[in-house]
């Protein structure tokens, strides 16, 4: 064994080791269609910088986190849901996070109830 930590699913997608339907990419992040969508539009927005959970962000990540929010809006608009979409960030296993690489769920295309979950 090399002793190096294994790559997350998203790091493998970034490296093009695993195929995915990429709907957006820039130097900081990329977005893919979720393979198990909960709505007609369900896109995962993923920073290229490895960050296991939102609570692992540091002050230097502020610009990246803001960038993700702006890109989420751009993607929702491109999908036709610029004024009616939900952003979800699961932080930790107890919240439903299953891939420990920060990602935002962009969900739209059906009525969404409150509270979620």
Q: DSSP alpha helices (H): ranges in 1-117?
A: 9-14, 62-78
Q: 42 an active-site residue?
A: no
Q: Where in the chain are the domains?
A: 9-108
pLDDT band of 1, cuts 50, 70, 90: very low
Of 42, 67, 101, 103, the catalytic one is 103
Give the Cα separation of 84 and 103 in Å (integer).
19
Q: What is the CATH number of domain 9-108?
A: 3.30.428.10
pLDDT digits (tens, 9 = 90+) for 43-95: 999 999 999 999 999 999 999 999 999 999 999 999 999 889 999 999 999 99
């Amino acid at each position: 064994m090399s002793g190096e930590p294994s790559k997350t699913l998203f790091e493998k997608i970034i490296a093009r080791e695993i195929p995915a339907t990429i709907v957006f990419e820039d130097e900081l992040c990329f977005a893919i269609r979720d393979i198990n969508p909960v709505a007609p539009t369900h896109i995962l927005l993923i920073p290229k910088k490895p960050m296991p959970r939102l609570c692992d962000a540091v002050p230097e990540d502020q610009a990246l986190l803001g960038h993700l929010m702006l890109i989420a809006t751009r993607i929702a608009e491109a999908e036709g849901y610029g004024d009616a979409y939900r952003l979800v960030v699961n932080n930790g296993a107890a919240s439903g996070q299953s891939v420990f690489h920060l990602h935002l769920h962009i969900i739209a295309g059906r009525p969404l109830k409150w509270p979620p979950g």
